[in-house]
Structure 1
Amino acid sequence: MSNSFMETVSRWGRRGTAGTSIAASLAFEDVVHGYGKVRALDGISLAVAPGEVVCLLGPSGCGKTTLLRIASGIERPLSGRVTIDGREVAGPDAFIPPERRGVGLVFQDFALFPHLTNLANVMFGLKALPKAEAEKAARLALSRVGLDKHAEDYPHTLSGGEQQRVALARAIAPRPGILLMDEPFSGLDSRLRDAIRDETLAVMRETRATCIVVTHDPEEAMRMADRIVLLRSGRIAQIGTPSDLYRAPADLDTARFFSDVNEVPGVVRAGRLVTPVGYFAAPGLAEGASAVAAIRPQSITPKPAGMCVPGRLVSRRFLGEVELLEIAVQGLDAPLKARVRSGEGLAPGRDVGVDVTAAEVLVFAAPGA
């Protein structure tokens, strides 16, 4: 990582604090929306507390951005209600336009005006203020994101990360009660993404605004959110803290979304799932039911041959901090994938033992069962 990059991040982090907002609550009540015959949202109910950071997570087409657009007022739901601090802003009895909702927006493509300077871009949302006050507030916001020296420059002269920071400054300058962000980091170079995301989160916490962030990246959601709302086909699949969704996913699809898993089939006997790699607790599943053990690669440890479940190492790939092993086990159609710190001394074709950390195994009813 270059010195200039680290200096930029460091300078940004040393700026003054952002102005605080009066955080607002945001609620969706049985919201339905669609495009033609496609049902984008199918009865979404969700309450976001003042000052809370919530990530809307899910694959493309699940309804994340549609819900954000309805929250902002860019789109009106087909049915249901949206309230801010208990006041209906969209529903059967009212529709408040975006500019009157006290909502800040950061789009995926930043949506900066190319013909305006960075300062003028930030001032764009401050038209209600006298010009001198608007300029002061805009310069303060640019200073907070480390771009006060680029106030008179134009967006095209900045890097992607810097443009994202201008967009953030524009969103926070009016001190909105609610800040909505639509995949704001997806277009950034991976080298910059973590640093800019972490600093953006710091700005969000300083403003104390209620924040909703759309992302398709589970790791990003876990790093940023107080709560994650996982959407699937226009419905809420699960809501909870990052720990809730990772450690106690509601179903196999949710477990798959948050990490790679080895899916090992088995049958429930006396409250345990019997599989070729061991027995695992299966509470709530009927005797004789078909089920699946979802085993994360990091929960598998290779042992010397003769210990634990017998297996044979099929392949070993170096991935930097970890190595990915594929281990064939009798009774399984596909090799188990294991992630280990070091596979030193292990060579493909060698017999090994397979040790599974049973406490970390997730058991679900077999799909279609």
Structure 2
Amino acid sequence: MGERVCVLVEDIQEAPVRSRTPAAIAKGLTFEAVELAYGGVPAVRGVNLPVKPGEVLCLLGQSGCGKTSLLRLAAGIERPDRGRILIDGQVVAGEGVFLPPERRGVGLVFQDYALFPHLTNLENVMFGLGGLKRADAEREARLALSRVDLAEVADAYPHELSGGQQQRIALARAMAPRPGILLLDEPFSGLDARLRDQVRADTLAVLREAQATAVVVTHDPEEAMRLADRIALLRRGELVQLGPPAELYRRPVDLGAARFFCELNEMEGFALAGTVETPLGLLPAPAGVADGAVSVAIRPQGIRLGPSTGPGVAGRVLERRFLGELDLVEVIVDGLERPLVVRTRDAGTLRKGDEVRVGTDPGEVLVFAASGA
């Protein structure tokens, strides 16, 4: 895997104005103590998760954490072993109850788009409008294509389009019936980085216009923070933390959650009377941290480097690499088994072997109980 880069909360630039998407009647989605196992192996473990009408919620976590299983449960592709699933307060899956997918009023966008290669793009979008007369279905399908800026390729076939265009066709097909809930399973994972940003922004704009409830599966924390009103972080089938992106980034519940959003400089420490003793000196301890052994994590942008005659702890530059907007600097400090990783815009003339003094930004220091990993 490539090197992780810290992700920061940022404003999203909406796509250019397009034809307005008719508002769906947004529906709430609720998981109550839901459990699911495959062949005796737990995939979802007692998840309680409310999704608010009209919000964009991202299910975030590593492969195998239960994200896609939750999506399949919501869609009706899987039945829960225990617990209930409700849509707008109505039980659609639970003891003695199971509503099939076609009766749930949900739209699906799959990771591989699942477009029919023998149908034109227009016919693909019309596929979900079987309840309408053909003329009405065609009119709605053409409107859906215009909302994703692809009206001009209505008569082409999926294989004639780029990956980003195919993704937008799949989105148009899912949105055409105006579902109250839209479920998207890693819809941008097959796109290259530059195209992914644009398609993601376009998709978010369409979702906002439609006002439908959306649940998006992703393993990419930056993607989740760009898209979501709230993020549900999953680990080994359990819900670890639920909240707005800024809350999960700034106040992770444990060290594992913090690691998911950013590369960290980790070290042992000892908390006492509101401070933490570390190899980098005394650092402030957040409120609520009990005295005793703790795990300390500092984000790379929270390390400050200064001249060797200044304040701070002594260190020596091991490596410096240019990353474009930032420099990555590795620094050796006595008492640490691994070099500190520093990301800075102010590396100046630092070179390998230079002596420096190391300080920290208290706002980028995280402290957890020693068992918090």
Q: Given residue 169 of structure 1, which amino acid in structure 2 is its aligned partner? A: A
Quote the sequence identity (%).
Answer: 60
Partner of 1:88: 91
1:227 and 2:230 are equivalent in the alignment:
yes
What is the distance in 2 between the residues matched to 1:276 and 1:104?
A: 53
What is the distance in 1 between the residues matched to 2:166 and 2:137?
A: 20
SS in 1 for 2:54: coil
Partner of 2:295: 292
What is the distance in 1 between the residues matched to 2:107 and 2:248?
A: 28
Q: Given residue 131 of structure 1, which amino acid in structure 2 is its aligned partner? A: R
Partner of 2:272: 269
- Give the C-alpha shift of residue 55 in structure 1: 0.3
Instruction: Give RMSD over aligned pairs.
Output: 1.4
Partner of 1:358: 362
- Give the C-alpha shift of residue 368 in structure 1: 7.2
Question: TM-score, normalised on structure 1?
Answer: 0.95
Q: Given residue 364 of structure 1, which amino acid in structure 2 is its aligned partner? A: F
After superposition, the Cα gap between the structure-2 partners of 1:146 and 1:15, relative to the gap in structure 1 and judged at 3 Å, is same
1:255 and 2:265 are equivalent in the alignment:
no
Q: Given residue 100 of structure 1, which amino acid in structure 2 is its aligned partner? A: R
What is the distance in 2 between the residues matched to 1:368 and 1:224?
A: 28
> Are the counterparts in 2 of residues 281 and 363 from structure 1 also a CA contact under 8 Å?
no
**Structure-to-structure mapping, 1:26-65, within 5 angstroms:** 26-65=29-68
Structure 2: which 5+ runs fail to align? Answer: 1-14
What is the distance in 2 between the residues matched to 1:55 and 1:15?
A: 25
Q: Given residue 130 of structure 1, which amino acid in structure 2 is its aligned partner? A: K
Partner of 1:281: 284
What is the distance in 2 between the residues matched to 1:59 and 1:314?
A: 32
**Structure-to-structure mapping, 1:142-181, within 5 angstroms:** 142-181=145-184
Partner of 1:334: 338
> Are the counterparts in 2 of residues 280 and 363 from structure 1 also a CA contact under 8 Å?
no
Structure 1: which 5+ runs fail to align? Answer: 1-11
**Structure-to-structure mapping, 1:307-346, within 5 angstroms:** 307=310, 308-346=312-350
Which is further off, 264-273 or 304-313? 264-273
Partner of 2:187: 184
Partner of 2:9: none
What is the distance in 1 between the residues matched to 2:277 and 2:101?
A: 56
1:17 and 2:33 are equivalent in the alignment:
no
Partner of 1:119: 122
Question: TM-score, normalised on structure 2?
Answer: 0.94
- Give the C-alpha shift of residue 165 in structure 1: 0.4
Runs of 4+ in 1 over 6 A off after TM superposition: none
Number of corresponding residues? 358
SS in 1 for 2:23: coil
Which of 136, 139, 142 lines up with 1:136 in the alignment? 139
- Give the C-alpha shift of residue 334 in structure 1: 0.9
SS in 2 for 1:199: helix
Q: Deviations along 1:193-227, whole A, 9 cap, x unmatched?
A: 00110110000000000010000000000111110
- Give the C-alpha shift of residue 281 in structure 1: 2.8
Partner of 1:349: 353
